[in-house]
Amino acid sequence: MMTISYEYEGALYVNLTNRCDCACVFCLRHNGHKGSIYADDLWLEHEPSREEALNNLLSRPLASYRELVFCGFGEPMFRTDDILWLVDRLKEQVDGLPPVRINTNGHANLILGRDVTPELAGRIDTVSVSLNGSTAEEYCTVTQPRDGVKGWEAMLDFTRKAAACVPKVVMTIVDKDKSEAEIQQCRALAESLGAQLRIRAYIPD
């Protein structure tokens, strides 16, 4: 069995892809992990088609969740077109659809070769971008993006553009190994882009 969606703390998480253009040192995709503390079998035997994902989501009590979150065991925005199609279908078919969030590395525009942020407007309520570091150097060390420092620049640019189109944009960092000064730098950077900083607790493997 593979897990297309799973419940966690009152929200429904959707896993559409295992592809990613980063190789974060803390990523659960490494070390032979197939699941996480949240769900088993997040390693997809195939990427679900949009119809397969829609059927899976419609089998859930969608209105009962506090949030619907596209995340993944991978970078969900590789499948931006499918996410937007799914949100459109769900908005048509589900009364009381909860707010929709995407958890992303912020590389969508770099990966897809176009600015997708205007397409998020009216569909996505929250975009959560992994910031991971206060400088390009730290970011690249931690996330090892395929395109190097371009990944850092693309992430910042995406965040700024998303903040103009989406009601809420947050940037996340993990508190582990971060000094108060670094956290302040991250906060200032996030706020300069129109985002809020959210500090997450480190979850060990």
Token pair, residue 29, equals 């995709």
Which are the contacts of 102, defined by CB distance < 8 A and separation ≥ 6? 69, 70, 71, 76, 77, 83, 120, 124, 126, 127, 128
Nearest distance from C-beta of residue 43 to ligand SF4, angstroms? 12
Nearest distance from C-beta of residue 66 to ligand SF4, angstroms? 22
Strand arrangement of the beta sheet that strand 100-104 belongs to: 5-8, 11-14, 67-70, 100-104, 126-130, 168-174, 196-200
Nearest distance from C-beta of residue 183 to ligand SF4, angstroms? 20
- Residue 143 in contact with ligand SF4, rule: CB under 6 A: yes
Binding mask 31-70 for ligand SF4 (x = CB under 6 A): ----------------------------------------
Choices 6-14, 16-24, 78-86, 118-126 (CB under 6 A): range interacting with ligand SF4: 16-24
Question: Binding to ligand SF4 (CB under 6 A): which residues in 74-103?
Answer: 74-75
CA-CA distance, 48 to 30, in Å (whole number)? 22
Nearest to 77 by CA among 33, 100, 45, 107: 107
Helix (H) or strand (E) holding 187: helix 180-192
Quick one: which of 6, 13, 29, 44 contacts ligand SF4 (CB under 6 A)?
A: 29
- Residue 15 in contact with ligand SF4, rule: CB under 6 A: no
CA-CA distance, 181 to 93, in Å (whole number)? 47
- Residue 20 in contact with ligand SF4, rule: CB under 6 A: yes
Query: Residues in the site for ligand SF4, rule: CB under 6 A?
Result: 20, 22-24, 27, 29, 74-75, 105, 143
